Each structure stands twice: as C-alpha cells, then as structure tokens.
Amino acid sequence: MKLWQKDKTALAAVEQFTVGRDREMDAYLAPFDVQGSLAHITMLASVGLLEKEDLTALQKELKNIYHEIQEGNFKLEDGVEDIHSQVELLLTRRLGESGKKIHSGRSRNDQVLVDLKLFLRSELESIVKETASLFELLQTQSEAYKDKLLPGYTHLQIAMPSSFGLWFGAYAESLVDDLIMLQGAYKVVNKNPLGSAAGYGSSFPLNREMTTRLLGFESLHYNVVYAQMGRGKTEKLVAFALAGIAATLSKMAMDACLFMNQNFGFISFPDELTTGSSIMPHKKNPDVWELIRSHCNKLQALPNEIAMMTVNLPSGYHRDLQLLKENLFPAFETLRSCIRMSKLMLENIRIKDNILEDEKYQYLFSVEVVNRLVLEGIPFREAYKQVGLDIEQGRFKPDTELHHTHEGSIGNLCNKTVKEQMEAVLKGFPFGKVHEAIEALVK
C-alpha cells in the first residue's frame, strides 16, 4: 500500500531503488508519527473536519498503537511502504472509514517533517543528558587530581607545567561550548512544520498554533515554503552539533592514547579495559580510545556529507532528502556509545605520581625562572635571554615551585564557575515543557 498509489504499479526495480533503506529508517520514527497524528486529528476536530465520534475512536486506537510501539509489538508489514502507511492501514482495519480521515489537511511531506522534528528533539535531549553526565565526571576528576602535575606540550614538545586538574577541566569546559552549539540546533528543531502540507499550505482552515502547542514545540515554522526548505538544513545543523561533541571526545581520546604510551606513561587502565596482542604478551592496547577517536572523526564528517547531499537543491521537496536519514539517524547511538565508553574509561583511570620529577622535564620550568627574575626587577627580554643562555651552557637550575593563581590556571581551576555556566546552558532547554505536552497527548 502506498499513500500516493492510484492505478498503476511501479516496476519492482524502481520500487526497490526508491524505497531503499527507508523502511528500516522508519522504525526510528514510529512513536513520533503517532504523536504527530494525535495532535493533527485533535486539530481537525477543532476546525470541524472530524466528527467527535471519529476523534474519540481515532485517539483511542492511536494510543493503542503507540503503546504497541513502546512495547515492541509493532512492525512494518511486507508490502507496506512506510510507517505513515502502516499506521493509517491499522486504523482503517480497526476503525473502517474513520481511519481514512486521518490524512485530511496533511501531505506526507509535512507528516515526515514533523516526525523528523519530534525524533531529532528526543535524540538531542538524550545527547544533552549523556553529555552533562560526562561533564560531571570530568569536573569530579579535575578536582580529585588537581595537584597531580604533568607536562604541557606545544608542537608536541615539552612546554610548561600542566596538571590533570587542568586536563580534565579543559574537556569539561569544552562540553559547555558544545552544548551551547547543540542548543542552537535544538531551537531550530523545536519549531512546528505541521500544516505546511506539500510545502504550499492547505485550503483547509487548519489551526497550526494548536498543533504547535499540543506537540510542545516552541514556535511554528510560519512560512510553508520555508518549512519544507528547512529539511536538510535542520539535519545539517544537528550534524554540526553532534560533530562538536565528537571533536571534543576525539581530541581527548588522542590525548589518552598518547599518555598511555610507554614513552609518556602518564596514565594507565585496568587490564580488562585494554586489549592484548596475539604475539606480544606485554601489550596493553588502548582499543577503546582508538575506536572512540575513529567513530568521532567519522561523526565530524557528517555535516559535510549532509551538505553535499543538499547543496544544489532548489526549494520544495526532493527525494534526495530521504537519504539523509541513513547518515544521521545512526549517528546518535554512535555518539551516545562514545560518551558512555569515555565515562567508563575515565572512571577507571590511573594517574602516575611525581611525573615531573623526571630530569627530562626540567625545562618545563624555564618560564617559571624567567618570571621569577622579572618579579625581581629584571626586564622580561633580559630575563628570557639569561635563562636561554643558562640552558645552552648547561647551567640551568629549575625553580619547580609553581605560583599560578589567575583564573583558570593550575592553582585556580574555576571549576565551580564552569559548572555554573553548564547549569545555565542546561536550563535553556525546555525539556519539561516538551514532556508535559507529549504526556498529555499520549496518556
């Protein structure tokens, strides 16, 4: 069954090619299709396009289908094109003529688009919660290891003293900015396209503000042409948000791989979190971090993939957009897995003591010596030159006392302030309002 089917059957090869993996991807959208339909029929009844008896019957049966989906008892039958067709088919089987009225005032275009918006909104909320949990762990570890020093590097050459407090804290603060970016994507996602139909509106007196309220959207995509133009753009913005978090995780994974290397030896992990070699009994490989790095690098390619798939499309709907699901939908679970595995590794990290007592790190303190001379009244350039000559001539005696007190330095991490920033970002997500609206719709 196809919603658009009239009196001709498509060639099997054409049907297989055009449907592609859409049935598989539709499984992600099932609960959200029902949510959208519940809001739509409530609105249809309010404007006189659905009788009260039909509304009551449809609401009851849609909620039954919703619970079947939640319990894993729903499937897309053979020969049924997509999730939208399956829901309508079930309603028609169970209710007769009432089931055929559900599509009034809708096109499959805006039906798919509202499903996508609801799905993306839910997935972004999940990513926010996972990221916030990782942030909390990073801050905890930053405080726990704030007195553990390690070398800081520029150009992969030893540069200045750092600390694990700084290292953990840096990635925590990075996640704050990542969620600011994600919040921008969420605001675009959280706009209602329902009622835009095929992209040119409807002659029915639809109440689009009502469906916006029922579905917990913050506002409408008002212009019906732009509502459809937003498809592709929305996915790209979401992909950029996921890529931001992925970039943070990838960099952290690369650090961890380096720090585990025996030539660094700053950190280690329990044997059960590393892997071995088939011929080298001493090996403890950082496979988890390496896979996090690779997965997250793939995620950073996602915005470009989506951009290339949509770059030359004119306004209006095009079938090209169907393929975006295949790229974007699995990315959420990939990122969730990477966040969770990062947490598992960081919860079990072991930090080496007294790293900077090794003689090869003595030059880390050259800037400390320069700064001490400046505080004694020697001009900076003279102090810099004097310490440089001492190093060249083997007379350098490091001052290993650290006096870093400014905001964000080794001795003043400002983790509390960074936490307040994260809390402010999290408060900007209207998750409570969304949950309240959806709960009222499906209960």
- Residues 127, 332: contact at Cβ < 8 Å? yes
State whether 319 and 374 are in the same domain. no
Residue corresponding to tokens 């750092």: 162
State whether 17 and 139 are in the same domain. no
**Per the domain annotation, does 122 fall within a domain?**
yes
State whether 285 and 195 are in the same domain. yes
The pair of structure tokens assigned to 312 is: 């030359």
State whether 301 and 239 are in the same domain. yes
- Residues 396, 390: contact at Cβ < 8 Å? yes
Domain boundary among 46, 72, 101: 101
pLDDT for 275:
85
State whether 93 and 125 are in the same domain. no
Beta bridge partners of 161: 151
**Per the domain annotation, does 75 fall within a domain?**
yes
Q: Are strands 267-268 and 350-351 parallel, antiparallel or unpaired?
A: antiparallel
**Per the domain annotation, does 277 fall within a domain?**
yes
CA distance 289 to 300: 16
State whether 255 and 204 are in the same domain. yes
- Residues 62, 37: contact at Cβ < 8 Å? yes
**Per the domain annotation, does 1 fall within a domain?**
no
State whether 95 and 125 are in the same domain. no
Domain boundary among 80, 101, 122: 101
* Ramachandran assignment for 350, one of left (phi > 0), alpha (psi -120 to 50 degrees), beta (any other): beta
The pair of structure tokens assigned to 146 is: 């704030």
Domain total for the chain? 3
CATH code of the domain in which 61 resides: 1.10.275.10
CATH code of the domain in which 433 resides: 1.20.200.10
DSSP-derived letter for residue 267 is E
**Per the domain annotation, does 399 fall within a domain?**
no
State whether 343 and 386 are in the same domain. no
State whether 336 and 367 are in the same domain. no
SS3 of residue 376 by DSSP: coil
**Per the domain annotation, does 4 fall within a domain?**
no
**Per the domain annotation, does 179 fall within a domain?**
yes
Domain boundary among 101, 120, 150: 101
pLDDT (tens place) for every residue of the chain, 443 residues total: 555 555 556 577 777 777 777 777 788 999 999 999 999 999 999 999 999 999 999 999 999 999 999 999 988 888 787 888 889 999 999 999 999 999 999 998 999 999 999 999 999 999 999 999 999 999 999 999 999 999 999 999 999 999 999 999 999 999 999 999 999 999 999 999 999 999 999 999 999 999 999 999 999 999 999 999 988 999 999 999 999 999 999 999 999 999 999 999 999 999 999 887 677 877 788 999 999 999 999 999 999 999 999 988 899 888 888 889 999 999 999 999 999 999 999 999 999 999 999 999 999 999 999 999 999 999 999 999 999 999 999 999 888 888 899 999 999 999 999 999 999 999 999 999 999 999 999 98
Range of the domain at 25: 12-101
State whether 17 and 160 are in the same domain. no
77-129: pLDDT as tens digits: 887 878 888 899 999 999 999 999 999 999 989 999 999 999 999 999 999 99
State whether 201 and 284 are in the same domain. yes
**Per the domain annotation, does 400 fall within a domain?**
no
State whether 22 and 118 are in the same domain. no
